[in-house]
Amino acid sequence: MATYALTDKAIVLKPEDDVAVAKAELPAGTVLEDGSTPIEVRAAIKPGHKVARRSVRSGDPVRRYGQVIGFATEAIAVGDHVHTHNLGIGDLSADRYEVGVDVRPVEPYPADTMRYFDGYKRDDGRVGTRNYVAIISGVNCSASVSQFVKDKFRDVTKEYPKVDGVLAITHKSGCGTKLFGEDHVALQRVLAGYAKHPNVAGYILIGLGCETNQAAVMIDRQKMSVPGHPERKPFLVNIQEAGGIRKTVERAAAEAAKLLPLANDVTRTKQPISEICLATNCGGSDANSGMTANPALGWAVDELVRYGGTGVLAETPEIYGAEHLLIRRAINEDVAKKLIDRYKWWEWYCRGIEAMDNNPAPGNKAGGITTVFEKSLGGVTKGGTTPMMDVFMYGEPITTRGFVFMDTPGHDPVSITGLVAGGCNLICFTTGRGSVFGCKPVPSIKLATNSLMYRHMEEDMDINCGVILEGTPLPVVGRQIFEEIIAVASGKPSKSELSGVGEEEFAPWIIGPVM
């Protein structure tokens, strides 16, 4: 019977934790010395899965991260495998919301130590990390036509080397919804956010003509204009008015062609990293996510905030059970109430279908994550430790610097679509199972949570955070992420960009019924 020190084979994050997370396969019968207490492993445990350090009665809470990750659904003995067969969620204490108790003033770096990146300074003062021309479809009925227009500009970089490409922004919505209802307004906000994005040098709009989301109305309500010319409205063509597909494509392509030399007439210039607005997201998480990539990304977010930049956490249903930690960081009651109100809305939204509990996904569970509480407690670490300055609605323009939160679903493309619409000009995406997410017009930096997956999918992963499990200090990896943020913001292609992915991931949140 092999005997090891617990810390040689598993990770304990907090002394009060009831479980340890296996770093390697633990055969049944293995003995782990937990201080003076021996733990005999009672069943084979895979890497990333949990072994009980203490016995827990049925119905009692189980802790990891020093927080409740669930409640025992049966008695758990020391050495048991703790997972979905004996752990579930339950009601958390209603008095756990303590506003602002963890707020600590941010110590900004002196102005003369500012770091810089090479970015595209736009006329409105914002700074882009990429330089695209966009063909924006107002409704699904004009999506194919928008793609046909884009297809006429497949290799623009030969003639226009400063243009990253022509991008078709298409989707499956724009009709069959309540006029100016929550769905419609959110779609307008997202489309306008992409049109106005600092990574978009110019755009045109294509509609059908009879849809709910009338592009001409959206232009007025969202104050859309020609970039650099706020007094001029953008080019709009409707298929029905133009006389059909061919005529629309010809007119739209002619207008798009006029934008290319204008987009090419810009140059990257030295810009302070305070102009970086960083979206954080995770997908295909595993039990390592909350110990490696997520907290390392949180370290980089803290660093960016100290330089005056912005880090944005999102995925509201995947912070469920950890939202109290954000409320403890809220700068005031108003900011805390914004977040609490969003959770009340989500509980109403998911009523009757147990959607908030139907998480994590099968891949998350295979990687060792048992409950949504456990997933959330790992996910929230992406947001670092600085005060939460504000909370934004889905796709709402992000106007507050520092660490902020945006209300989005957890589904990766829908979440990041809202973040990009809000103005994020860079994405850091953590993954344990191996997501290959990309998101034009914004580069996506992929952070692997474990070395095995990183080596297996190295062509798609930008940074291996799994080295933290092998002894590399977390701040060293956080610094590596931070430097990669600056490099990619300055034009270094991310792995997803090199693979050419990112155009199909535009997915506005369809909030209500489709009628």
> What is the per-residue pLDDT across 303-351, written as a single tens digit (0 to 9) for each?
999 999 999 999 999 999 999 999 999 999 999 999 999 999 998 998 8
How far is residue 256's CA from residue 56's CA, in Å, rounded to a whole number? 65
Give domain limits for the chain: 3-88, 125-264, 272-499
Residue 354's pLDDT is what? 62
The CATH classification number of 3-88 equals 2.30.130.110
**CA 158, 159, 162, 165 torsion: positive or negative?**
negative
CA angle, 257 then 261 then 263, to 5°: 100
pTM of the model: 0.95
Closest CA to 195 of 205, 210, 186: 205
CA angle, 168 then 187 then 202, to 5°: 40
Q: How confident is the prediction along the chain (515 residues), in pLDDT tens digits per residue?
A: 789 999 999 999 999 999 999 998 999 999 999 998 999 999 999 999 999 999 999 999 999 999 999 999 999 999 999 999 999 998 887 678 999 999 999 999 999 999 999 999 999 999 999 999 999 999 999 999 999 999 999 999 999 999 999 999 999 999 999 999 999 999 999 999 999 999 999 999 999 999 999 999 999 999 999 998 999 999 999 999 999 999 999 999 999 999 999 999 999 999 999 999 999 999 999 889 999 999 999 999 999 999 999 999 999 999 999 999 999 999 999 999 999 999 999 989 988 666 555 567 888 888 899 999 999 999 999 999 999 999 999 999 999 999 999 999 999 999 999 999 999 999 999 999 999 999 999 999 999 999 999 999 999 999 999 999 999 999 999 999 999 999 999 999 999 999 999 999 999 999 988 88
How far is residue 203's CA from residue 121's CA, in Å, rounded to a whole number? 17
Asked whether the domain spanning 125-264 has the same topology as the one spanning 3-88, the reply is no
Closest CA to 338 of 381, 383, 393: 393
How far is residue 503's CA from residue 195's CA, in Å, rounded to a whole number? 15
Residue 358's pLDDT is what? 56
How far is residue 278's CA from residue 208's CA, in Å, rounded to a whole number? 34
**CA 87, 90, 94, 97 torsion: positive or negative?**
positive
Half-sphere exposure for 49 (CA within 13 Å, toward CB): 21
The CATH classification number of 125-264 equals 3.40.1360
How far is residue 263's CA from residue 155's CA, in Å, rounded to a whole number? 15
